[in-house]
Amino acid sequence: MQDSHSTEIQESRIQRDIERIAAFSECAPCVGHSRPTFSPAWEKAVAYIIQEAALVGAVAAFDPFGNVHIRRPGRAGSVWLSGSHLDSVPTGGRFDGVAGVVAPLEVLRCQPQAPLEVIVFAEEEGTTFQRGMLGSQGWTGGLLASDLEQYKNSNGANYLSAGRPFGVDPTRMDSEKLVPSNYCGFVELHIEQGNFLWKRGMAVGLVDRIHGRRQYHVRIEGTANHAGSTRMEDRRDALVGAAGMIEGLEQLAKKLCNQAEHTVITVGRLKVFPNALNVIPGTVEFTLDFRSPSDTTLSAGEEQIKELIEHHCDRRQLAYHWHQTEVIPPLNMDPELCHQASEAAHRLGIPLPRVSSGALHDAAILAPFLPTTMLFVASRDGISHHPEEYSQISDLVQATRILAEMIRR
């Protein structure tokens, strides 16, 4: 029998936390889990974590950016920071973000005196307010109140007004940003969302690098005209032009993989104007998401992407407009913190291979300010952002034990 002061990470408690949070969903009982940031389902999930932490004497506070900070009161000196997010993509899975919140919560239960602050970042996914990692970017000073005001949810409410009941307060933003000296470092535990660990039958991995991301908005201008009377040789069809570009971008990404493995390019959203059955498409807009572990490849690739678009426009006498919407460079995780994680895993006898993260996380936003690393938990078949997303609780326990051991030291 385990007593209430057990310092052992308990699988049953973690299992229960995952199940309880999964039940807080906008679309329950339909398939998958939907917790838009600042929605009633998100609020209930946050309240559950706060209540559980209160059982071991920890108290919670919202910062003016909508993030939740949970710790034991009255502790002097710097503390560890660990956490992730509870917002989800529409019809997402049970583990993305949630795993990284319940793990440090379990550490707090086992080591109530641990120098640890649990954080729940707001709007990590970017599917509620159309841009990801808003809470962490606000807290670290990368986004101002005037920026946050631009992002709106599907009800038309902007981040500042929708977040007001959860502490979002522009008047406090300048004075309550992250103070790095308050923290020893940041460890984010997250499911891998790839198949590297699962394929090898390994429970946990240590992230030593997060890939960079550049995003663009591209508009291709041709001429809309009658689909019946305009001969093929007389057309300036923006969609046919865009189609050639999209296929070319796929080839380019494969070529760039020779320079830097795991380089990827995605055209995920396409708008066609006038989008009518019998009209030649006059304008096409698309988004372009370009990621690589190498900044050199991102810079060189950006030039090649522009050349490719220009080439297709020249061929068809189309015009184009190009707008960069985001630049996040690849980031190395802190070598000393990675070393500490490896040592902790070694003491526990848990194999801890090094992996890189193709997905972005709040850890990428924190890394320039705090020594940061991430622990990945194996994802079954690499499936994520999907109702079938699954990680074994026993693997999550292994990762939580490493986190606890790092903090204990």
Contact residues toward Zn ion (CB under 5 A) are 96-97
Residue 301 CB, shortest distance to Zn ion, in Å, is 25
When the beta carbons of 52 and 96 are compared against Zn ion, the nearer one is 96
Q: In the complex, what is the shortest distance from the CB of residue 194 to Zn ion, in angstroms, rounded to a whole number?
A: 13
**Residue number with CB closer to Zn ion (118 or 242):** 118
Comparing CB distances to Zn ion, the nearer of 71 and 190 is 190
- Residues in the chain, overall count: 409
Q: How far is the CB of 345 from Zn ion (least distance, A)?
A: 22
Nearer to Zn ion, 120 or 239 (CB): 120
The string of DSSP letters for 285-309 reads EEEEEEEES-HHHHHHHHHHHHHHH
CB of 89 to Zn ion, least distance (A): 9
List Cα–Cα distances, 52 to 49, 60, 84, 127, 392, in angstroms: 5, 11, 16, 27, 22
Report d(CA 206, CA 334) in Å as an integer.
Answer: 11
Would you say 223 or 266 has its CB closer to Zn ion? Answer: 266
Question: Coil, strand or helix: which one is 71?
Answer: strand
**Token pair in block for residue 127:** 């599917």
For the CB of residue 126, give the shortest distance to Zn ion in the complex, in Å.
10
Q: Is 227 strand, coil or helix?
A: coil
Give the integer Cα–Cα distance in Å for 399 and 265.
Answer: 31
Please name the residue that has the structure tokens 């690393």.
373
Shortest Cβ 85–Zn ion spacing (Å) = 6
Q: In angstroms, how far is CA 377 from the centroid of its own chain?
A: 15
As given in the structure block, the two tokens for residue 346 are 């070694």
Between 80 and 376, whose beta carbon lies closer to Zn ion? 376
